[in-house]
Structure 1
Amino acid sequence: MDPITAINSLWLLVAAALVLLMTPGVAFFYGGMVRAKSVLSMMMMSFGAIAIVAVLWVLYGYSMSFTSGDDWVIPHVIGNPFTNFGMIPQLTAADGGPDLYALAFAGFQATFAIITVALISGAIADRAKFGTWMIFCAIWVTFVYFPVASWVFNFTLGDEGLTDGGWIVYGLGVNDFAGGTAVHINAGAAGLALAIVLGKRIGFAKGMAKPHNVPLTLLGASLLWFGWFGFNAGSEAAVDGIAALAWINTLAAPAAAIIGWLIVEKIKDGKPTSIGAASGAVAGLVAITPACNILTPFWGMVLGLVTGAVCALAIDLKWRLGFDDALDVVGIHLVGGIIGTLWVGVFGNGIGLIYTGSATQLGAQALGALAVLVFSFFSTALLGFILEKTIGFRIKNEDEQAGIDTSVHGEEGYALDEPVTVRG
C-alpha cells in the first residue's frame, strides 16, 4: 500500500473514533435536559441505537448505502443489501489481506448511521417504550437512513466529474459534504413525525420541565463538538486542504452560533443561559456540516451567527404549533440543517449565487433538502403509527409520571443512600 493511502486510512480510523464518541455525547447532552427520573432511559436510547445500527450496518447497511455499478436494486435510489453482506469483500485486498482503506471508510460511515438514529430520540424524551424504540431503530435505519445515505454519500468521481452515485448528489448535484440532509434534516423530520404520533407529554406547557443537570448537558455538547471535527474533516476521507478547511469551519461556525443564540436569548428572555450556549454550539455545528468544504471561514462564521439566532427563535415553534419536540430536535437539527444546506446555494465558494449570479445551485440544494424532509417525515410517521397501534410505542401515563428509569429499566440515575440516624 502506498504511503498516502495508508495516511488517509489512518485519518479515517481516527475520525471514525471521534464520530462514534458523539453518540455518547448525545446521550449526555439529552440526558442532562430531561427529568432526573428519566436520565437513564434517555441515555439508553442512544446506547441502544449503537447496538442495533452497528450490527445491521455490518450485515447489510454498508451494502445498501454504497452500492454501485450494476448492483443497484433501483438505479441511484436503492442499493443491494447483499453486495457486501457482512462486509466480506472488504476483507480481501489486492495483496490478499484485509482492505485497509475500504474497511476504514466503512467504519467511518457506520458512525454516521448510528448518530442519526440517536438524534431522533430527543424528540420523544420521557414517553417512549425502550423495546419499541429498539424495533423502530432497526426498521427506520433499514428503510429510511440506508437509502438516504446512498442518495447523498454514495458517489463515484471520474475524470469528468461524477460518474455514478445516489440521485441527490449524482442527479441534482447537491453539495452536502457531511450530512446536512442525510443526517440532520433526516433526523429532524423523523423526530417531528414521532413527536406528533406519540403525542404530548403529560402537562405539556412552556417551562414544564427544567433540565435536571446542566453540567451533564454541557459535557455532552463538549463531546459533540470534539467529535464533530472528525465528522466534518473526516468526510473528505483524505488528509488535504479540504479537510483542513472543514476543520476551521467546524471551529468558527459553532463559535459564532453561540454568540447568535445568546444575543437572541438575552433580548428575548433577559438572560443568556448555559443551555443556550450548548444549544447554540450544536446548531452551528449542524448548519456548517453540509457546507464546511465550500465556505470561506468568513461565510462560515456568518452562517453560524445567523443559525444560532434563527434556531434560538425556532425552538419556540413547538409551543405555537402544539407538537411536543421534547429536546428541540426540530428547532436545532431540522431548522439548522435546512439553513446550512440552502446557504451553500447562496454563499458556496464558486457555486453559490453571489459568485455565479445563478440560482441553479440554490434550487438544487432546496430540492434535495425538501426530498429528504418529505421522505423521512412520512416514512417515519407511517412506521411510528404502525408500531403505536400494534405493540405500543408510548409508555403508560402512570409510568411516565413515576419516571421511566424505574418503570422500564428498574434503575435510578441518582440512587442515593438513605440517611442513617445515629442515636446517642
Structure 2
Amino acid sequence: MASAITTLAADAPTLSSANTGFMLICSALVMLMTPGLAFFYGGMVRVKSSLNMLMMSFISLGIVTILWVLYGFSLAFGADSGSLIGWTSDYVGLSGIGITELWDGYTIPVYVFAVFQLMFAIITPALISGALADRVKFSAWALFITLWVTIVYFPVAHWVWGAGGWLFELGVIDFAGGTAVHINAGAAALGVILVIGKRVGFKKDPMRPHSLPLVMLGAGLLWFGWFGFNAGSWLGNDDGVGAVMFVNTQVATAAAMLAWLGYEKLRHGSFTTLGAASGAVAGLVAITPSGGAVSPLGAIAIGVIAGVVCAMAVGLKYKFGYDDSLDVIGVHLVGGVLGSLLVGLFATGGVQSDVAGLFYGGGLEQLGKQAIGVFAVLAYSLVASAVLAFLLDKTIGMRVTEDDEVSGIDQVEHAETAYDFSGAGGGSSSRSTAAPAPVAAASKKVDA
C-alpha cells in the first residue's frame, strides 16, 4: 500500500515554471488580439464611425473581465451541472483559489488557466461588433455584451471545453474555439442584424474602408496574437502538440491568404490588400478548431478551402439582403463551420488524439460529431442573440436615429472624431492677405 501511494504521488502533476511562463505569454498574446481586431475593424469602416468601431471592441476588455472574475469562470469551468453549465463557489470572484493550486491535472496554476480563458471570452463578443458597424447605440452594445456573454458564451464554453459539458463528452474536437468562439460570434452577428436591420444606404452608397493601412496593421496583430490563441490551448508543450498547432496556424493562414487572392484575381481582376487581410483571418479562423488534429499538409488544404469558400461567402449578403457590415458571417461563421467540419475529414489520428478522419480511415463518425457541435452552437447562439437584440431594441433601443447615423456615429456617441482636418494646410495666421487670389485661380484650373 505504501508503495502504491508513493507511485501515485510521483505521478501527480507538479507546477511547471516553463509551462506557466509559456501560458502567461500566450495569454498576453491573446489579449493583444482584441486591440488588433479593433484596428482591423476600425480601418474597414468609414471615417465617421471609425472611433465607434474601435470602442466596440475595446469596451469588451472592461466588461468581460469584470464578469469573468465575478461569475463567468465559474459558469464556464466550474463543476458540471446537467452537462449544460458549471458552477464552483470557490471560483466566484476568484477568491477561493490557492495561488499554487493546479488546474485539473495540468502543470499550470488555476489562475493562469483562468486568465488565458478570459482573453477568449473578451474577444468573442468583440468579433460580433463588426457586423453591426455604423448603427448601434454604444450603451445598448455594452448592455448586449453583458447579457450575451452571460447567457450565450459562458454556457457554450462549458459545453465545448468544460469537463462534463455535453459536446465535450460527445467527443467534439475544438482545439481553440471554432465552435465556442467563431461559430458562436458569427451566428450571434446574424441573429442581431436580422433584428436591427440594414445601414442607411446599404447597396446604394459606397461604404469603402477608410484606412487600409489600419486594416493591414490589425490583421498583422491578429496573426501574431493567434499563435498564443492556438498553440496555448494545449496548456503546455511537453508532448509537442502545441508546436504542431503553431506550425499549422502559420501554414493554414498563408494558404488561405494566397487562395483568397487567387480567387479575387480570377473573379475581380485584382489582388487587394483587403483581400489579403481577410484571407489571412479566414485561414486563422478555420485552423483554430482543427489544427491540433491535422498534419501541415492537411492545414494547407484547410487553408485553401477556407480562403476560397469564405471569399465566395462574403458576397452572400448582397444576394440575400442582410447587412453584415464587415463580413463577420462570411469569415467567422463560415470559416468556423468549415474548420470544425474538416476535422472529420483531415484528422490524422496521430497528433492531439487517436481520432482519425474520413481521409485517414476513420469513417464518418467524427464528421457526424463535428456536425452536431457546429449546428447546436449555431442554432443556440443565433436564436438567443436575436431574442436579446429584440428585447433591447424594444426597451432601450438598439439603433441610433437615421439622422445620427448619416451625420456620423462617432460624434453622436463619443463626441469625438478620428481625424482632425481643421488644421490641414496650416492655420489662418500663417496666410498672407494675398492668398485668396492664387487659391481662386487654382480652383478655376481644377474646375476646368
TM over 0.5: yes
1:54 to 46, 51, 65: 65
1:119 matched to 2:127? The reply is yes
Residue in structure 2 matched with residue 382 of structure 1 by the alignment:
387
Query: In structure 1, how many angstroms separate the alpha carbons of the residues matched to 2:161 and 2:123?
Result: 15
Q: How does 1:240-319 map to 2 (within 5 A)?
A: 240=238, 241-319=240-318
RMSD: 1.7
**How far 1:420 moved relative to its partner?**
2.1
Residue in structure 1 matched with residue 233 of structure 2 by the alignment:
235
Q: Secondary structure at the match of 1:290?
A: helix
Q: Secondary structure at the match of 2:318?
A: helix
Residue in structure 1 matched with residue 5 of structure 2 by the alignment:
none
**How far 1:300 moved relative to its partner?**
0.3
Query: In structure 2, how many angstroms separate the alpha carbons of the residues matched to 1:22 and 1:94?
Result: 28
1:13 to 18, 24, 27: 24
Provide, for residues 152-177 of structure 1, a one-character-per-residue CA deviation record: whole Å limited to 9, x for no partner.
Answer: 1113xxxxxxxxx211011x201100
1:201 matched to 2:199? The reply is yes
Query: In structure 2, how many angstroms separate the alpha carbons of the residues matched to 1:83 and 1:375?
Result: 29
**How far 1:80 moved relative to its partner?**
2.1
CA contact (8 A) 1:5 1:101 kept: no
**How far 1:82 moved relative to its partner?**
3.6
CA 1:218/1:63 → structure 2, altered by over 3 Å: closer, same or farther? same
1:415 matched to 2:424? The reply is no
Residue in structure 1 matched with residue 35 of structure 2 by the alignment:
24
Query: In structure 2, how many angstroms separate the alpha carbons of the residues matched to 1:290 and 1:210?
Result: 31
Q: How does 1:35-74 map to 2 (within 5 A)?
A: 35-68=46-79, 72=80, 74=81
CA contact (8 A) 1:60 1:81 kept: no
Letter in 1 for 2:399: R
**How far 1:9 moved relative to its partner?**
1.2
Residue in structure 2 matched with residue 79 of structure 1 by the alignment:
86
1:148 matched to 2:146? The reply is no
Letter in 2 for 1:80: W
**How far 1:206 moved relative to its partner?**
6.9
Residue in structure 2 matched with residue 88 of structure 1 by the alignment:
95
TM-score by length of 1: 0.93
Query: In structure 2, how many angstroms separate the alpha carbons of the residues matched to 1:185 and 1:299?
Result: 21
**How far 1:93 moved relative to its partner?**
3.7
Identity among equivalent positions (%) equals: 52
Query: In structure 2, how many angstroms separate the alpha carbons of the residues matched to 1:415 and 1:132?
Result: 27
Letter in 2 for 1:230: G
Provide, for residues 102-157 of structure 1, a one-character-per-residue CA deviation record: whole Å limited to 9, x for no partner.
Answer: 101100000000000100000000000000000000000001000000111113xx
Query: In structure 2, how many angstroms separate the alpha carbons of the residues matched to 1:123 and 1:150?
Result: 25
CA 1:363/1:405 → structure 2, altered by over 3 Å: closer, same or farther? same
Q: Secondary structure at the match of 1:89?
A: coil
Query: In structure 1, how many angstroms separate the alpha carbons of the residues matched to 2:245 and 2:253?
Result: 12
CA contact (8 A) 1:175 1:365 kept: yes
* Higher Cα Rg, which structure: 2
Letter in 1 for 2:360: Y
1:33 matched to 2:44? The reply is yes
Letter in 2 for 1:66: F
Provide, for residues 43-86 of structure 1, a one-character-per-residue CA deviation record: whole Å limited to 9, x for no partner.
Answer: 00011111100100011100000012xxx3x3211112744100
Query: In structure 1, how many angstroms separate the alpha carbons of the residues matched to 2:58 and 2:97?
Result: 27
Letter in 1 for 2:68: W
Letter in 2 for 1:313: M
Residue in structure 1 matched with residue 360 of structure 2 by the alignment:
355
List runs of 5+ in structure 1 lacking aligned partners. 156-164
Count of aligned positions:
407
1:222 to 220, 223, 235: 220
TM-score by length of 2: 0.88
